[in-house]
Structure 1
Amino acid sequence: MPEASETGAVEVEAKPRPPLSRNTLLRALVELQTWWREAIVGQTDHARTIENVRVESLLTSRYIFMTLMSAGIAILGLLLSSPAVVIGAMLLSPLMNPIIGTGFALATGDTHWLRRCGKALAVGSALAVLFCALIVVSSPLQTVTAEIAARTRPNLFDLLVALFSALAGSYALIRGREGTIVGVAIATALMPPLAVVGFGLATANWTVFGGALGLFITNLVTIALTAAVMARIYGYRSGLTERQSRLQSLVIVTVFVALAVPLGFSLRTIAWEANGQRIVNQEVADAFTKRARVDQPVVDWDVEPVAITASVFTPEFRADADAEIARRLERRLGRPVTVTVDQFQVGTDPGAAEQAALAQARAREAAEASERQIADLAQNLALIAGVERNDVMVDRESRRALATARPLEGLRLAGYRELERRLGRTTPGWTVQLRPPLQPLPTITLDGDKPDDSGTQALSLIEWAARRTGNPVALSGPEAALAPLVARLELAGIQVTSRAEPGSIVTATWTLN
């Protein structure tokens, strides 16, 4: 019987809660299933969603056009290493639609729809790869950029990105939130890997080809199977029997595992290399005094032995640094290594090493910027001249670039000179020279015995063209006007012949060597 306390209140002994029984858990699961079926599945417009997905996932002229445009933008963005352009290609790409459609076709057991989605995917992917390969073959830029290299090593994280994106995209379609698909298209990036496949095909770089194809297949299969799972969870009924349905679930799980295992090994390799880079940084720094400063060591993991190069600014030179660092790294990495450390001896003043390292970094950055400027200048000059990059002469010492232009229909001497001026304004400090084709020279109009405004411009153009081509010029016209014109051209180093003729203009022609 409960006892009364000093205050008169009756104390009731607390009884322990009974443990959750198996029946209680089963009842809770049944109630949750009932709620899901009635409140979620029952409120989903299955017919509308199926119709929307079906319409967008089939092979149409719009689908082909948008695939080609997306592929073209993607490969140009990759060649230019421009993330903004690549993102634009992701937004345009319609490849997500037939992949999601494949998932829903699997969930509903619609084999006819599944075949049509497969056809759309196959045709779209093949056209995208071939179109990108054609652009690369036609392009003077065929270098593996950072944007291209980033899509050649798929790993487990790429599978997870595709998985989460497919969950979000399927949910958005089922719940009527189609706008979310834009973000999903950016996250999964289906078109850039296909564009890199085209790049690898065009350049016969099978490492790039295989890596990018692996990334695309990873994204495709993961999205399709995830969409199928989501569709089944939301009650999209399949025409399969219960046994076939269980078999399909087993196949989906098996495929995910088959994808995850090699991608997991790839991720493990990337993680090992990242940890190895940290070890290299540490051992190189430990080999010198605390006053030394080490530039980021460069490690080439793809060669045997592993090649390591570094620059160190130190007040104390160490003759045995390479051998000592190599011995430590071989013990910690478990692989043979070769180490090359360029040591730059600096003063013992505090901050001397930091100042030297900063000066070298600035010099390296300036050199890299200068090389990029030279490459851009040569490429742009080749484009406006209508020639190959190898046909452009670049003199780094005198900072001069020269190209001989091919005849372009409708472009006159004034147009070639304007192209040269525009390019010259974009590269200050450089002399840009575009040698034009031998086209008819302009007529010099006169105001009395002197050139008028139009004639002065014509004379300037004749002088420019003659200096660029190195060809002599013949002038004919009134004798009083010829003498100063000949003197000006000869002063510019141009060979000139003249012939006096009556008239009010001076005509100029080429005198071929």
Structure 2
Amino acid sequence: MTGETPPAAKQDVATSLRWRLLRARLHRLRTRFIHILLLPELTPDQAFDLRQTVRKEGELTNGYVLMCTLAAGIAILGLLQSSTAVVIGAMLVSPLMSPIAALGIGFASLDGQRIREAARVVAVGAAIGILTGLLLTLLSPIRDATPEILSRTKPTLLDLAVALFSGIAGGYATVTGKGGTAIGVAIATALMPPLTVIGYGIAVLQPMFALGALLLFFTNLAAITFSVALVTRLSRAARPLGKVEWTPRYVAALILAFLVLATPLSMTLMQLSQEGRVRIAARSAILAASGEGCTIAQLDVQSALFGEPSVKALVVTPAYAANAQANAETRLQQTLGEHVGITLQQILAADVQAQTRAMVDAAMERTAAGITADTPPYNAIRTAIGLPTRSLWADRAQRQVYLEPIALPGWSLADYRATEARVSGSTPGWTVRLVPPAQPTLAIWTGGDDANDGNNGKDRPADAVPPDLAVWALQRWGMAKVMLSGQDPQAVALVTRQFTDAGIAAQYQSPVPAPLPPSRAEPESRTPPPLVTATVYPARPSQQP
């Protein structure tokens, strides 16, 4: 009687065969994917030598500390002056690629010791970047929130894509040994500027700037590290999984390290998912509220770390739609089930050519002002100014808001300047320029206090202003040239010098003395009053020779 194979044994053999076939198929797919990516398939000896080289290059040295300090210093100075070229130049000396490559290989190899060592080096570099940004911001006289700084206060989908591609390129450079310097610039660009912005946010007492930049840094770090780990695992540069020590303490440390990087990445992905959902719903709501024939030229969705999202849109439309913003907010709330604020601007353009020109102008303004330059807080400025407003406009590139109130009875130039100083302090990130009602002439008094001038102030007009206030008014009116007249040469010279220092060309016009009646004798000579008259309005074209 011949022995038969038990059914259980047959099933085990079939299961083992399926696993072998699956592993063979996965191996073929992996090999094909490696060939597509032009990755080398390293031998065990080559992989071991590569891991040792990366580990040695990623060690903490005095040169690493120095180069991190120099890179962070150049980066924060470039951010403060909003110079993209300087920021990119700072990355040429940044040494962050080596420890991040070691960190990625550590995750790919599940090597807890290597993860700890590389994480310590990255943490030192991060601390240097934050402290350098903090100290140089405190020492710098310029602390304005430039577009370069604002663009690094929150992660975006483009930032995540840059980090992913930089990580893949970094992994490729690590396993092939080609192009490491140029790819290190891309990696450092995604990491060093956010670190210095964290220091900037602490220095200017803006915690939301610091928290947003911190989230951006961890998001980019996680994306780059996991991309490097993926490439090194595919190329077999990582340690074989069969040599991993699976002790409870070891597994807990690996899980903790993974969560430290995965948590901010998942937060960013959730935020980007929410922004995408709001963007789609907002586009439909704005188009429906603006009427037929309209085109959305710009649509930005902003969501704070701890706050509701907001939408800012620019619509080119052939006809103005009344209450379009309120209608769009209502439609958006019905779609999403929550309130989302919308700032909607409409540009009228009747034909296709005008619509195209309006869209190009909007794009050029967006480029000049920076992609992340937000809309000025017009409502907050109107509320703070507390005056009837004739017009309101903004220069986004300089982050300045110009406000022109109506002429108020009894108000002097000093009152308007004091109001401007009061409002400017209540609009962080924006500078308010109040344009007072224009005057044909300005009476400028250079004698100081009434008790100190030679005539005891008896010749001073009631509407006379000091020279610095006259300079302020002329700058707000945009006057680059004025005519001066006066009887006191020293007063005229003083005003001319102050106007020239402020960039205002002053041309002296000699006054014509009035003829004396024949019956009157020559008047007594006395010191002329320190009064200068500035003619603001130019002569009419019909009066010009």
- TM-score between the two structures when normalised by the length of structure 2: 0.52
8 Å CA contact 1:313–1:353 kept in 2: the answer is no
Question: Counterpart of 2:237?
Answer: 234
Question: Counterpart of 2:135?
Answer: 134
Q: CA deviation at 1:195?
A: 1.3
CA shift in 2, pair 1:75/1:42, >3 Å: same
Q: How does 1:169-208 map to 2 (within 5 A)?
A: 169-177=170-178, 179-187=179-187, 189-208=190-209
8 Å CA contact 2:223–2:265 kept in 1: the answer is no
Which letter maps to 1:121? Answer: V
Question: Which of 275, 279, 287 is the matching residue for 1:274?
Answer: 279
SS of corresponding position for 1:41: coil
Paired residues, number: 374
Partners of 1:293 and 1:229 lie apart in 2 by 42
Question: Counterpart of 2:497?
Answer: 468
Q: CA deviation at 1:341?
A: 7.2
8 Å CA contact 2:168–2:228 kept in 1: the answer is yes
Question: Counterpart of 1:166?
Answer: 167
Partners of 2:197 and 2:276 lie apart in 1 by 24
Question: Counterpart of 2:337?
Answer: 334
8 Å CA contact 1:307–1:338 kept in 2: the answer is yes
SS of corresponding position for 2:216: helix
SS of corresponding position for 2:177: coil
Q: CA deviation at 1:40?
A: 3.2
1:417-465 deviation per Cα after TM superposition (whole angstroms, max 9, x unaligned) = xxxxxxxxxxx97479xxxxxxxxxxxxxxxxxxxxxxxxxxxxxx989
Q: How does 1:419-458 map to 2 (within 5 A)?
A: 430=480
Question: Counterpart of 1:264?
Answer: 269
Is 216-225 or 39-48 further displaced after alignment? Answer: 39-48
Q: CA deviation at 1:202?
A: 0.9
1:378-428 deviation per Cα after TM superposition (whole angstroms, max 9, x unaligned) = xxxxxxxxxxx99xxx99789xxxxxxxxxxxxxxxxxxxxxxxxxxxxx9
8 Å CA contact 1:109–1:239 kept in 2: the answer is no
CA shift in 2, pair 1:276/1:83, >3 Å: farther
Q: CA deviation at 1:70?
A: 1.1
1:234-290 deviation per Cα after TM superposition (whole angstroms, max 9, x unaligned) = 25468965424994897377666545432221111221232244134303321xx64
Partners of 1:159 and 1:257 lie apart in 2 by 13
SS of corresponding position for 2:283: helix
Establish whether residue 22 from structure 1 lines up as the match of residue 18 from structure 2: yes
CA shift in 2, pair 1:54/1:239, >3 Å: farther
Partners of 1:321 and 1:235 lie apart in 2 by 58
Q: CA deviation at 1:317?
A: 7.5
8 Å CA contact 1:306–1:335 kept in 2: the answer is no
Partners of 2:365 and 2:225 lie apart in 1 by 51
Partners of 1:81 and 1:30 lie apart in 2 by 49
8 Å CA contact 2:298–2:313 kept in 1: the answer is no
SS of corresponding position for 1:154: coil
CA shift in 2, pair 1:396/1:130, >3 Å: same
Percentage of pairs with the same residue: 31
List gaps (5 residues or longer) in structure 1: 1-20, 376-388, 399-427, 433-462, 471-489, 494-513
8 Å CA contact 1:153–1:266 kept in 2: the answer is no
CA shift in 2, pair 1:297/1:180, >3 Å: closer
Partners of 2:42 and 2:365 lie apart in 1 by 65
Partners of 1:82 and 1:94 lie apart in 2 by 21
CA shift in 2, pair 1:167/1:244, >3 Å: farther
Which letter maps to 1:53? Answer: V
Partners of 1:352 and 1:34 lie apart in 2 by 53
CA shift in 2, pair 1:353/1:341, >3 Å: farther
Which letter maps to 1:468? Answer: R
8 Å CA contact 1:108–1:239 kept in 2: the answer is no
Question: Counterpart of 1:497?
Answer: none
CA shift in 2, pair 1:283/1:298, >3 Å: farther
CA shift in 2, pair 1:465/1:53, >3 Å: farther
Larger Rg: 1
Q: CA deviation at 1:193?
A: 1.1
8 Å CA contact 1:157–1:267 kept in 2: the answer is no
Partners of 1:239 and 1:31 lie apart in 2 by 17
Which letter maps to 1:132? Answer: G
Q: CA deviation at 1:197?
A: 0.9
Q: How does 1:202-351 map to 2 (within 5 A)?
A: 202-224=203-225, 227=228, 231=232, 233-234=236-237, 236=239, 241-244=244-247, 247=251, 251=255, 258-286=263-291, 290=293, 318=322, 324-336=327-339
SS of corresponding position for 2:144: coil
CA shift in 2, pair 1:71/1:342, >3 Å: closer
CA shift in 2, pair 1:295/1:49, >3 Å: closer
Question: Counterpart of 1:481?
Answer: none
SS of corresponding position for 1:92: coil
Q: How does 1:337-376 map to 2 (within 5 A)?
A: 372=398
Partners of 2:223 and 2:195 lie apart in 1 by 16
Question: Counterpart of 1:505?
Answer: none
- TM-score between the two structures when normalised by the length of structure 1: 0.55
More helix by percentage: 1
Q: CA deviation at 1:42?
A: 2.2
8 Å CA contact 1:317–1:345 kept in 2: the answer is no
Q: CA deviation at 1:186?
A: 0.9
